[in-house]
Structure 1
Amino acid sequence: MSKIKRGKGLTKVISGPETEIDQRVQYHFQEKTWDETITKDSWMVFKVMAEFVDGYEKMAKIGPCVSIFGSARVKEGDPSYEMAVEIAEKITRLGFGIITGGGPGIMEAGNRGARQAGGKSIGLNIDLPFEQHFNPYIDKHYSMDYNYFFVRKVMFVKYSQGFVVMPGGFGTLDELSEAITLIQTLKIARFPIVLVGSKFWNGLLDWFKNTLLEEGMISEEDLKLYRVVDTADEAVAHIKAFYDKYSINVNF
C-alpha cells in the first residue's frame, strides 16, 4: 500500500491494484529513450506469441464447443446462474464441449453444467487484479490463463461453434460484440448466437433497431444474427436446429 497526502493532515490510502493503475498512467508521461520503448514493446510480442501457441496447441484437440458468456458477479441460486447450469448441461448432451472465461458467476455455472453432464469443460481465465479466479468445475487439461484479453477472445471465437450470452456487464458486451462483428464481416462462419433473457437484453436490442438501424449503421439482416430466448430449452433448441439444418451430427 502507498499513501498520498491531500490537504492538511488528510491522507488517502491506496491499495495495490489502484497503485499499479496509477503507475501505468504515469508511465506514459515519463521520459523514456527510444531504446527503452522499442525493447519493452518488442519483447511483449514474444509473450503474446507464447499465449497464442499454448492456446492453439490445447484448443485444437477439443472438438465442437459452445461458448457461454455472462457476468462474473452472480452467485449460485441466482436465476441466471441456475439457467446457465441447465443450458450447459443440455448443450453438452448434444455432444458439444463448453467454453467459458474460467472464472466465477455465469462462467462457473457453465463449467458446472458441462461437468455434471460428463462433457468437456474448458476455462479460459484472464489475469485480473479483482474478481477473477479459476472455478472448480474446469477440466485440468483445458484450463488456460491469459494476460491479454485479445488473445483470449481469439480462442473463444476460433474454437466455438455457437455462443450463448447470459446477462453480464462490459466484458460480456465486449465478447458479444466481437462474435457479432466477426460473423457480420464474414471473418468467421455464421454460428448461432443466443441471447438469454429478453427483459435484460431488450433495451440494447431496441437501441440496435431504433438507433443503429435507423441511422444506417447496421442493416436489417444484421438483426437476424442473434436469437433472443427466455428458457434453457429455447436456447438449446435454437443451437440444435441450426446444426440439424446442415445435417451435422455433433457427436463424433
Structure 2
Amino acid sequence: MKKILALAMTVVMSGLLLAGCGSAGSTASAPANTAPQKIVVGLDDNFPPMGFRDEKNNLVGFDIDLATEAAKRLGMQVEFKPIDWNSKEVELNSKKIDVLWNGLTITEERKKNIAFTKAYMENRQIIVVLPNSDIKTKANLAGKTVGVQDGSSSVDALNNDAATLKTFKELKKYSDNVNALLDLKAGRVDAVVVDEIVGRYYTNKKPGEYTILSDNFGSEEYGVGLRKDDTQLLEKIQKALDDMKKDGKAAEISQKWFGENIVK
C-alpha cells in the first residue's frame, strides 16, 4: 500500500512539475514595449500614388512599397488595413492598427497624440483648377466653392490661413481627393486644395484637364505615425528607413512612382 501511495505521489508531483514548466512557457508575458512580429499599417486606400487600389483591386503605391521593404528588413509580416482616414488617430490609439503610413503629415497638433519617425518626404498644399478657370491666385478663391479631403492636412493648411478661408463661399469636404477632383471636373466645385504629390500624380494622368496654380497653402513633411509608447518599433522602423536611404532602395522606389528621387 505504501509503495502504491508513494508511486501515486511521484506521478502527481511529476505532473505538477510538468504543468508548472508548461505554464511558465505559455504565460510568460513579452517584455514591455517589444516590437511585434507583424505590423498592421493603417491607410487611406484611395490616396494615389502613396496607397491606392489598382485595376485588379490590389493595394499598391509608394508608401505600400516602402512599408513592405521596411517590414522585410525587420523580419516582420505586414498587413495593410484601409481605415477611415478622418478617424486615423482613434484607429491607432485603440490598437486596431500599429502604424499610420500613408502620406501622413507631421504637425504639432498630431504630435500631441502620436509619435513620428523623421520626415522622409516633403510636400506642399497646392490649388487645382480647370484650365479655363478665372482663379489665378489664392485671392481669387473669394466667393468660390473649394473642395478638400476631410481629415487631411489640406484642411489644417486652410485653417492656418483663416484670412483666405473665410472668403470662401463654401468649403466642401470629401471622403477622398479623387472624388474632389472629379467634382471639380464636373463643375460642382471651383477649386481643390490637395497634397502636391497626390495632385500632380492624378493630374499628370489626365493632361490638359486640370491646372495647378503657382500659389499654394504652404509646405509640410511626411512621416510614419505610431503610438507614443511604441518606442522600440519606432526605432526599428526609423533604422530601416535610414538604411534604405543609404543603400539606394528608397531612391529606387521613388523613381518607380515619381520618376525621380524625392525622398528626403
Q: TM bucket by the smaller chain? A: under 0.3
Q: Which has the higher contact order (CA 8 A, sep 6+)?
A: 2
Structure having the higher strand fraction is: 2
TM-score, with length taken from structure 1: 0.28
TM-score, with length taken from structure 2: 0.27
Q: Larger radius of gyration, structure 1 or 2?
A: 2
Structure having the higher helix fraction is: 1
